[in-house]
Amino acid sequence: MTETTCGTEGERCANSLHRHSRELPAGREGLLEWEAERFHLATETLGLDSALVCALHCAVRSVEIEIPLLRDDGSLTVFTGYRVQHSTALGPAKGGIRFHPGVTGAEVTALARLMSWKTALAGLPFGGAKGGVPVDPTTLSTRELWDLTRRYTVGMLPVIGPEVDVVAPDLGTDARVMGWVLRAAAEAGLDDPRLVTGKPPILGGTAFRASATGVGVAHVAERAFTHLEGPFDRARVAVEGFGSVGRWAAREAADRGAKVVAVADITGAIYAEDGIDLPDLEAWVAGGRPLVEYPRADTVDGSVLTVPCDVAIPAAMEGTVTVEVARELSARLLVEGANGPTRPEAEAILADRGVPVVPDLVANAGGVISSYFEWVQNHQRLPWSIEVERRRVLERLDEVWDQLATVPPEKWRIHALATGIGRVVEGMVASGEILDGEGR
């Protein structure tokens, strides 16, 4: 993982021993580069000097493990497992574990950085981390997935912990996987529900967590739409992704009166001008049928985000908002449910076209805010009702949104980033990790 040592551009990094994102082999550019580019714009607004910028961007710890997995057919596959703890300046590192074929050390590093800025922006006493395994979980049997999860957990046990690095679900993982993580750690001697958030409620998880990210995305979408355009019940919404974020975002947007006209998942995209009956679609998908074959909507060629709509919500993967999508988008607002969905070149086009982007750090922060409240409830050994947790998560999101709404939309991303980064710097100074006045 040498290329992930430092994501700072070479000419701006004070440490000549570091490798830099600009040196990534061709074809490997992606979220690492985009995050670095935006990070530098944000640090420029803060007036930070290059040595501090480098220190801020470097990860506290990057771990890579090999996971030999005995397959059901008797063969052996060796997977790589990553965990990057980017920052612990404001508290234990915090972030999800991703199981997806596209996982790389570079991607996990960039996502860990985004977690640091996100937790800081939300005012949570956490740092940032992310983990992952390059694997398509749908190609594994339940036993293989269970075994991989347990081996990943045991392999990472020396570096994770309830006061050190708290794990959670991300793309390709869910509450069931988190239950397995918890159990594997307990059997290996680390028996503490605070190690994992997003776990099943029966094991100390919360009833709100599974829906929290998506509900938060819809909440922020409503706040932003109302701020810019008017009542949310006039909004036609398109959602890319029908998993743990997109499904709940669509449902919540519809519950709040918006018309969800299009959704998409890995099987394809569908559109219905008069709105999609989401409970009916969920029943269709729950029956194991492909979303794209849903009979009461038309199929869409290309990106679902380009259908006629007012609010586009990419809630699938990073990088799905390409230059082409940005050009074709009819929406007047883009709300980032996924982490890093908008490519910088696409963002420039959206800016030219006057389409505001609510950045991931704000739009999808409901997930990690809910994770924080789960961790707090585990500390207290006092579960709150789902209503209390939902209200507190949305209140915290409102605080973040209200702050963002004080600046014009074209500054939203950099303002959110700079606020998060600024708080991490403040924490580093307060703890003496960097001395006040030094490197600034």
Active site residues: 130
Rounded to a whole number of angstroms, the minimum distance from the CB of residue 182 to ligand GLU is 14
Q: b/e per residue, 105-121, with b = 16+ CB within 10 A? A: bbbbbbbbbbbbbbbbb
| 122's tokens | 């939300």
Q: Which is nearer to ligand GLU, 95 or 134 (CB)?
A: 95
Q: Which is nearer to ligand GLU, 105 or 367 (CB)?
A: 367
Which of 141, 41, 130 minimizes the C-alpha distance to 367?
130
Among 3, 147, 165, 170, binds ligand GLU (CB under 6 A): 170
* Cβ-closest position to ligand GLU: 96
197 sits near ligand GLU (criterion: CB under 6 A): yes
Rounded CA-CA distance 370/389 in Å is: 7
Rounded to a whole number of angstroms, the minimum distance from the CB of residue 301 to ligand GLU is 30
Q: Which residues contact 308 (CB under 8 A, 6 or more apart)?
A: 236, 261, 273, 330
168 sits near ligand GLU (criterion: CB under 6 A): yes
Choose one: 83-91, 223-231, 367-375, 419-427; the region binding ligand GLU (CB under 6 A).
367-375
Among 57, 94, 247, 413, binds ligand GLU (CB under 6 A): 94
Choose one: 38-46, 50-58, 64-72, 90-98; the region binding ligand GLU (CB under 6 A).
90-98
Binding mask 50-89 for ligand GLU (x = CB under 6 A): ----------------------------------------
Rounded to a whole number of angstroms, the minimum distance from the CB of residue 381 to ligand GLU is 20
Q: Which is nearer to ligand GLU, 4 or 197 (CB)?
A: 197
Q: Which is nearer to ligand GLU, 149 or 306 (CB)?
A: 149
Q: Which is nearer to ligand GLU, 129 or 329 (CB)?
A: 129
371 sits near ligand GLU (criterion: CB under 6 A): yes
Rounded CA-CA distance 82/135 in Å is: 12
Rounded to a whole number of angstroms, the minimum distance from the CB of residue 138 to ligand GLU is 19
Q: Which is nearer to ligand GLU, 349 or 362 (CB)?
A: 362
Rounded CA-CA distance 358/155 in Å is: 37
Q: With CB under 6 A, what is the number of residues at the site for ligand GLU?
A: 12
Question: How far does the chain reach from its first CA to its final CA, in angstroms?
Answer: 29
CB contact at 8 A, 127 and 88: yes
Among 127, 134, 356, 367, binds ligand GLU (CB under 6 A): 367
Helix segments in 122-242, DSSP class H: 142-156, 175-187, 209-228
Choose one: 200-208, 249-257, 366-374, 414-422; the region binding ligand GLU (CB under 6 A).
366-374
Q: Which is nearer to ligand GLU, 53 or 115 (CB)?
A: 115
95 sits near ligand GLU (criterion: CB under 6 A): yes
CB contact at 8 A, 252 and 219: yes
Among 368, 400, 425, 428, binds ligand GLU (CB under 6 A): 368
Q: CA 144 from chain center: how many Å?
A: 25
Kindly list the distances between the CA atom of residue 140 and the CA atoms of 65, 71, 77, 170, 182, in Å, as whole numbers in the listed order.
Answer: 19, 9, 11, 17, 20
Helix (H, G, I), strand (E, B) or coil at 384: coil
Given the DSSP bridges, would you call strands 128-133 and 93-99 parallel, antiparallel or unpaired?
Answer: parallel
Which of 198, 177, 195 minimizes the C-alpha distance to 186?
195
CB contact at 8 A, 129 and 115: yes
Choose one: 61-69, 152-160, 320-328, 361-369; the region binding ligand GLU (CB under 6 A).
361-369
Strand partners, 317: none
318 sits near ligand GLU (criterion: CB under 6 A): no
Among 87, 244, 306, 339, binds ligand GLU (CB under 6 A): 339
Given the DSSP bridges, would you call strands 311-314 and 333-335 parallel, antiparallel or unpaired?
Answer: parallel
Q: Which amino acid is at 433?
A: E
Q: Which is nearer to ligand GLU, 9 or 165 (CB)?
A: 165
Rounded CA-CA distance 260/237 in Å is: 5
User: Which helix (DSSP H) or strand (DSSP E) does residue 276 occupy?
Assistant: none
Choose one: 35-43, 53-61, 259-267, 360-368; the region binding ligand GLU (CB under 6 A).
360-368
107 sits near ligand GLU (criterion: CB under 6 A): no
Rounded to a whole number of angstroms, the minimum distance from the CB of residue 95 to ligand GLU is 5
Q: Which is nearer to ligand GLU, 55 or 196 (CB)?
A: 196
Q: Which amino acid is at 74?
A: G
| 80's tokens | 């790589």
Helix 175-187, helix 142-156: angle, nearest 10: 50
Give the binding site for ligand GLU (CB under 6 A). Answer: 94-96, 168, 170, 197-198, 339, 364, 367-368, 371
